[in-house]
Amino acid sequence: MDLETLLAERDIARFVQGWLYRDLGQWDRLKPLFHPEATISLAWFDGPFAKFVAASEQMDASELRARHVMGASMIEVKDDRAVAETTALLTAENRKLKLGCCAIARFHDLAERRDGVWRIVRRLHPRDGGFRLSARAGQAWRRRRSTGARRNTRRSLTSSRRAAFRSANRSPPGERRGKGVALRGQPLAPRALTTALSRS
C-alpha cells in the first residue's frame, strides 16, 4: 500500500468519525465533512445532507437525544473515489416520554476527492439488528397499561419501528436484498457503491 492511499484512508476515517459532531450539535464542524450536493439515507431521514442538518437541529432542540458509538472503518480507495464501511451503536431516548432504544447499524459512505480534498458524497445506513427498548421503556409500558393505554402505545411503537425499518433497509438501485429483511454478511460495499467506485 502506497503513501497516498494511506493518507486517503486517514482522511476518510477522520470524516467518518466526525459524525460525532452531529451528536454534539457542532453543525459548523459537521457540514465540511460532506460535499454540498451530498445525500444521506438514515432510519428517519432520506434526502439532501443540507436538509438533514436542518432537521437534526430541530431534533436537537426537542426531547429526543441520540448518540453514536463509531467503530473502526474498512476503507477501499480507487483513484479519487472511495468506499468506507463502519459499524456503529446507536442509542436514543425521548426524555419526556421516558422511552429509549439502541440499535446496531452500519454506515456505508461513498467519498470523493475534489481539488485534493476528500468528502462524503453519499451515506447509506443499513441496520443489522433491530431496536432494543431500554428498561425505562419497559417501566413506561407497565404504567401505560395500568391506565388503559396499552393498545395505543403498542400501535405507536410498532408503526414507528416498521417505518424506521423500511427506511433503513431501502436498497439503492441495483442492490440485492432479501425478502422483508436486510441481507447480513454483505460485502464491504453495497453493489451500487461498488459500481460507482469502479467507474473510470
**What integer pLDDT is reported at residue 99 of this predicted model?**
86
Q: What average pLDDT does the chain have?
A: 77
Residue 152 has pLDDT above 80, yes or no: no
What is the per-residue burial (b if ≥16 Cβ within 10 Å, else e) of 17-45? Answer: bbbebbbeeeeeebeebbbeebbbbbbbb
Domain that holds residue 33: 3-198
Task: Return the bridge partners of 133, or none.
Answer: 101
The C-alpha cell that represents 56 in the structure block:
437534526
User: 176 pLDDT band (50/70/90 cuts)?
Assistant: very low
The C-alpha cell that represents 126 in the structure block:
443499513
- Work out the average pLDDT over 21-48: 95
Residue 185 has pLDDT above 50, yes or no: no
CATH classification of the domain holding 10:
3.10.450.50
Euclidean distance between CA atoms 92 and 60, whole angstroms: 12
**What integer pLDDT is reported at residue 155 of this predicted model?**
53
Domain total of the chain? 1
Residue 24 has pLDDT above 70, yes or no: yes
